[in-house]
Structure formats: C-alpha cells, structure tokens
C-alpha cells in the first residue's frame, strides 16, 4: 500500500452521518493519514455511515473526540502540523492562492454553523472556496473533496 499523505482531516460537529460516510470515502481516495470525528459528529459504528463510506471505515485511520479543541491539541503535538480551517470567513484566503505545506490538518465545520469560532481562533490559517452563484457555501463533503485534491495537486502528487 502507498504511503499516506501528511494530511489529517478534522470534522467539527458535522450533523449528517451520510456526510461523514462520504468524507471517509473521500479521505480513502486521497490516502490521508487520519480523520478526526469531533463533538456531535457521528462515528462508527453508527448505522448510516457505511451506506456512503462503502468500506472506507476499514481503510481510513480515525479517532473520535468529545470536543474539537482536544483534537486540535492532540494534532499540535505532532511534527509542527499547520491547522487550516476551511470556512467562508472575512479573514479567509482563497484556497487557490494559499500555499498549503505539509504536514497539514484541514478542519471542516458543521453544515449550518460552519467551523466554530473557537476553532477558527486556534487555526493557523483559514481558507475559503470562492462562491460565484447565489449560495454562500458548498456541502461539507464536496468542500472536503475539492480542498483535499487541490492540496494534492499543489504538492504535485
């Protein structure tokens, strides 16, 4: 099996088990190191996750934390990881213009509220996906896939 890419994904209070399952599958496709499921985020063995994960629960290393802050503290203890939240925030940089560097942790937030303000404060940077239509954001699963593959493209993988 190929070596995992130095990327970790943090889910900050995701509501939908189907989104979590799809993110498991996306993380498998991108061959990331670890997925952190935090707060109200459903986690295995939740019965709805396998429908969209399609077996990725067995191939993606994951860990559950009762709160996202504890996950961030744990991640910070590892090799100077850059914590980058993906959020439509006035301080955010367009993700196309941002210089993602390894090792990296990407934080994705709640489907309605986004990444919590406390986690944004703990982040080293905030990036956003530009929105050209009337809607202000994309589905969290879609956002995760777009950003993960942009990181891999920038790293020329």
pLDDT at 1: 63
Q: How far apart are CA 145 and CA 143, in angstroms?
A: 5
The residues, ordered by sequence, that sit 6+ positions from 60 with a Cβ below 8 Å of its Cβ are: 24, 27, 28, 32, 34, 35
CA dihedral sign, ordered 30, 36, 41, 44: positive
Tell the burial category of 10 from Cβ atoms under 10 Å away from its Cβ (0-12, 13-18, 19+): buried
The residues, ordered by sequence, that sit 6+ positions from 134 with a Cβ below 8 Å of its Cβ are: none
Tokens 């990181």 correspond to 151
Per-residue pLDDT of the chain (157 residues; tens, 9 = 90+): 689 999 999 999 999 999 999 999 999 999 999 999 999 999 999 999 989 999 899 999 999 999 999 999 999 997 799 999 999 999 999 999 999 999 999 999 999 999 999 999 999 999 999 999 999 899 999 999 999 999 999 998 7
Question: Residue 106: enclosing H or E segment and its boundaries?
Answer: strand 104-109
pLDDT at 156: 85
pLDDT at 79: 74
Q: At what angle do helices 17-30 and 140-154 cross, to 10 degrees?
A: 10
What mean pLDDT value characterizes the chain? 96
pLDDT at 42: 97
Domains of the chain: 5-154 (3.40.1280.10)
């Amino acid at each position: 099996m190929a070596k995992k890419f130095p990327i970790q994904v943090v889910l900050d209070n995701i509501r939908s088990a189907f989104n979590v399952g799809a993110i498991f599958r996306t993380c498998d496709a991108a061959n990331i190191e670890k997925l952190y499921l935090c707060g109200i985020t459903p986690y295995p063995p939740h019965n709805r996750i396998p429908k969209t994960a399609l077996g990725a629960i067995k191939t993606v290393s994951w860990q559950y934390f009762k709160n996202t802050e504890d996950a961030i503290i744990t991640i910070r203890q590892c090799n100077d990881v850059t914590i980058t939240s993906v959020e439509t925030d006035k301080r955010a940089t367009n993700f196309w213009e941002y210089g993602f560097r390894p090792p990296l942790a990407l934080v994705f937030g709640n489907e309605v509220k986004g990444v919590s303000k406390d986690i944004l404060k703990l982040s080293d940077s905030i990036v956003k996906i530009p929105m050209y239509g009337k809607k202000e954001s994309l589905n969290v699963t879609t956002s995760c896939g777009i950003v993960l593959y942009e990181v891999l493209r920038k790293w020329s993988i």
